[in-house]
Each structure stands twice: as structure tokens, then as C-alpha cells.
Amino acid sequence: MPNRIDVPIATLETNMLHFRLPEGVVRVAVVQASNLHNMDSRFLLQGKSDPYARVKVGSQEETTVTIDSNLNPIWANKDEYTPSQYIFDFPVHDVVNQQINVELWDKDNDADDFLGETKIFVSEVYNAYHRFKEIEEKTEEERTAEDSEEKGFIDKWFPLSGKEIRKGDVRLVINWLAFKSDNEEKLNNKHHKHINKYFLGVFINSVNSLPDYVRGRQVSVELQLRKPVYPFTTTVLQPLKH
């Protein structure tokens, strides 16, 4: 001792160890809510709550558009809102432990009021997707009555909960999107312009030649996605057909 055995590892393999791609993407659509608390009825106010939703998965957070004076808001209204205002995609690295957290809030000029929340494990929609894929491989004779009820995604009303929250529900449609390389088939299928079709993962390995005054300080990197100039290889998201 000390003895050492060097095992050379290819660059591609080390990148996969350090910069692991997500298991997939969970797509959350906040469709509508009902029977929300009217926070604006307090203190002699005559209006109604102005609800919006915050959706969190891991460290990523997205927010829907705010709907004014409505205790039964509908975000999935194609005449008023675009899908990007209520449909969000989240990369998932841990299918078992990660959760989808949806919070409803009342928009105010000062501090927003909490209207309740609901939590769903990512594994629920992941399992629904794979159960449906297994059913697709069965013959008509092998399929059961329970199989016909499987949709491959989640579409249901969830009750809102929280301190002093006694009512309110939110309807969510949640899909699991698997990755598929774009060189496996031509990507000529039509897709809504406001819905994501690709996943782009960018990993920062190191930063060199920084000025001396940042020595000992924490350094952060800001990434911006702009209109591409050169073609690049992408990974396409394959939503479940239903």
C-alpha cells in the first residue's frame, strides 16, 4: 500500500456519469380549478380571488397566467390563452422520489394569498404510461376490461389542501414523455407551435481564465437559448397518442 490500478474510461462514458440525461419529461397541464376560496371577500372587499397556479418539479418552477375575479377559472380556453400559458414540461431525473407540486394563489397588489395545493408523485404518471404501452402490445383476445380503462396519462380532479384550506379542486392533465432520437425517423409530424417538441440539455463542465477578483467567490453561469444559426442534433419528445 498504496497500490493503484488505473482503468481508462472513454470520454463519452465519463460524460454519462457526470452529466446524466433525465429519465424523461413530465408534461403538466393546469386545465381549470373550481370552488376556490374568495380571499377578496375579507375586510369589506367586494371582488373575487384572482387565481393563478404555480407548478414545481424539483428545482424548476412555472406559473400560469392569472385569471381575474374568478373562483372557477379555466386556463385551457383556446380562445383566451395559449398552451404555453398553462402547459409546462419538466425534466425528471428521479422517477421514484420526485413529486409534482401544484399551488393555487390569489394575485394581490401586496402579498399573494394561498388557495391550496396538491402533490402527485411522478411515478404515478410514469406507471400509467408504461401500463398503456404494455396493453398496446397485447392482442384483442388478451386485453381485459380493466385494460380498456387505461389511458396512459392522468386526467383528474385533485382536492386542494393546506392550512385553513377547506375547499377547492384543480383539474390536471399529466403526461409522461419518453425520449427518442431524431435520427430514428423523420420528424415530419405536425405539432402545435406553442408546445415543446424537443429537449435540449446543456451541461457546464468548467470555466477557465476568470479574472483574479472573483477568486474565492461563488460563480454562477447564465444560459440563454436564442435562435439557432447552425444545425444541431436534438432529441424529440414522443407524447403518447390518445
Distance CA 36, CA 116 (A): 9
Distance CA 83, CA 78 (A): 8
Grid cell, residue 152, equals 396512459
Question: Any alpha helices (H) in the chain, and if so which ranges?
Answer: 11-18, 122-136
pTM of the model: 0.77
Q: What is the pLDDT of residues 92-145, one digit of tens each?
A: 999 999 999 999 999 988 889 999 999 999 999 999 999 999 888 888 888 888
Distance CA 30, CA 104 (A): 10
Grid cell, residue 139, equals 392482442
Distance CA 150, CA 136 (A): 10
Q: What is the pLDDT of residues 138-182, one digit of tens each?
A: 888 888 888 888 889 999 999 999 988 889 999 999 999 988 766
Query: How many whole angstroms from its chain centre is CA 24?
Result: 10
Domain spans, the chain: 11-238
CATH T-level fold of 11-238 = Immunoglobulin-like (2.60.40)
